[in-house]
Structures are given as C-alpha cells and as structure tokens.
Amino acid sequence: MRKTLSLAVGLLIIASLVLAAGTALAAGTLTMGTNAEFPPFEYVEGDDVVGVDVEIAAEIAKDLGLDLVIENMAFDSVIPALVSGQIDIGVAAMTVKPERLNSVDFSNTYYNARQACIVRKDGKVADEETLAGAAIGVQNGTTGDYAAEEYSQTIERYAKALDAVLELAGGKLDAVIVDAPVAQNILDALGNDDLILLDNIAFEDEFYAVAVPKGKPDLVESINKTIDRITQDGTLDAILLKYFPATEGEE
C-alpha cells in the first residue's frame, strides 16, 4: 500500500515537472517561435507561415534531422518562450542586442539590416530635428521601439508594424520606425504614394541571428554550421532573392 502510494506520488511529481517545462518539446521536432507579421522574413500566406526565416529554419531542421514546427506569437513573447522552454529556437528577424544576451544566446548572424523611418510626404517629419518629439509608431519591444526612444517620448506601440503604418497614413502618427526591409515591403504592398522613407536619419547597422535558450552550445554550433553551409553553397542568396526580387543582393 505504502509502495503504491509513493509510486503514485512519484508519478504525480514527474507529471507536474513535465507540465512545468511548458509545451514539452516533441521528439523529432524543432520548434521555431516567430511573429509572422514581418514580411518578407515571416508572414502568413493561406494557412502557412512562410518567409526568409522559415526557409532558414527549415535548413537548420533538415541538418539536425528534425521536423520543423512553427509557433506564431507576439514578437515580445519569443524570448520568454525560449526561456520557459516552450520553443527550441527563435527565428524572427531578431537583432542581436546586448540586453537580449542576458536572456538568450544567439547564433552567428545571417542578415544585415537597419531601421527605417516612414513618414507622410506632407507630414511634419522630414529629418532628425523634426523627428524629435514627434508621435512615432513602432512594433512593441523591437529595435525600432528602442530607436524611437532616442527621438521622442510620444511612442505608440503596436503588435504589427503594418497597423502602425496604417495609423500613419490615417494621420494619427507622424512617423513609423521599423526594420528597413519590412518598411519597404509594407510600402510596396500598400502602394500609397503619400508615404515615403526618409534617408537622412542615422540608424545603426543591425544583424539578425537565431536566438537559442542559454546553455545549449551544441545547438548553437549546429545552427552556425547550417548558416555557414547555406552561406557558402548559395542557398541563403537564393532564399533572399526569392523574397527580395526587386532588391537583388541587398545583404
């Protein structure tokens, strides 16, 4: 009787440990967390999440012999999901930032981007001076959000950059700061001639990498091997060309 009881208690403890680990990672899969609102890096097409990052993650999964599973979430949930063990890797056009290195590790980088500032042609923002103090829209928790803080305290934070751009078009905001490739993609998709990109704001270079839970050097090494391979064998260029057809070689 005593034995049965301690066995039951033991099983209960094991069950709660498994639950505490979050969505226990299924064997044979590599779960990628991303925010599929960031074209062309990740976006929803029909029932699928597609984009540059999805293709890179598929190469990583292939080299590891695992099936790729995608979890779509808010951008600012990706790091917490890595920390809690809900996902294996974060592939979300994520810029390597010293603050983020406190919570996660990063692979080698695979893309060089920078921020861009979208404004209305007839709006009040035309340069760094007029950006100061303006109403700036950003995607919550992104490097665009941090960049906006350098210029203004009037910041509106959105789950999607597209929503911020629509508010800018509608006159509710003076500017939107978002990663340049995504800014261009959104402007191309909207085809609104009133919206332009400023080229006179000094933003820093940013580098995207795959985020990994801390303390997994083997996983980081495998990811780096895949990034090296796809860089050398032309796969990465082919992926970029597929999603940036008009801006060949922009890397």
Place of tokens 């070689």: 249
Q: Which of residues 76-115 bind ligand GLN (CB under 6 A)?
A: 92-95
Applying CB under 6 A, which of residues 75, 110, 151, 243 lies at the interface with ligand GLN? Answer: 75
Confirm or reject binding of residue 142 to ligand GLN (CB under 6 A). yes
Shorter beta-carbon distance to ligand GLN: residue 69 or 92: 92
Confirm or reject binding of residue 243 to ligand GLN (CB under 6 A). no
In 10 A of CB 127, how many CB atoms? 12
Q: How many Cα neighbours within 13 Å face the side chain of 90?
A: 31
The interface region with ligand GLN, picked from 136-144, 211-219, 220-228, 239-247 by CB under 6 A, is 136-144
Q: CA 159 → CA 21, 120, 148, 184, 213, distances in Å?
A: 27, 21, 16, 18, 23
The helix or strand, by DSSP H or E, that contains position 115, with its residue range, turns out to be strand 104-120
Confirm or reject binding of residue 177 to ligand GLN (CB under 6 A). no
Ramachandran bin of 129, using left for φ above 0, alpha for ψ from -120 to 50, beta for the remaining angles: alpha
- Smallest gap from Cβ 17 to ligand GLN, in A, equals 32
Shorter beta-carbon distance to ligand GLN: residue 94 or 148: 94
Q: Is the peptide bond before 40 cis (omega within 30 degrees of 0)?
A: yes
Count the site residues for ligand GLN by CB under 6 A. Answer: 12
Q: Which of residues 188-227 bind ligand GLN (CB under 6 A)?
A: 206
- Smallest gap from Cβ 237 to ligand GLN, in A, equals 21
The mark string for 33-52 relative to ligand GLN (x by CB under 6 A, - otherwise) is --x--x--------------
- 3-class secondary structure, 42: strand
CB crowding 150-162: b at 16 or more within 10 Å, else e: ebbeebbbbebbb
Confirm or reject binding of residue 69 to ligand GLN (CB under 6 A). no
Shorter beta-carbon distance to ligand GLN: residue 107 or 139: 139
Which residues would be at the binding site for ligand GLN (CB under 6 A)? 35, 38, 75, 92-95, 139, 142-143, 179, 206
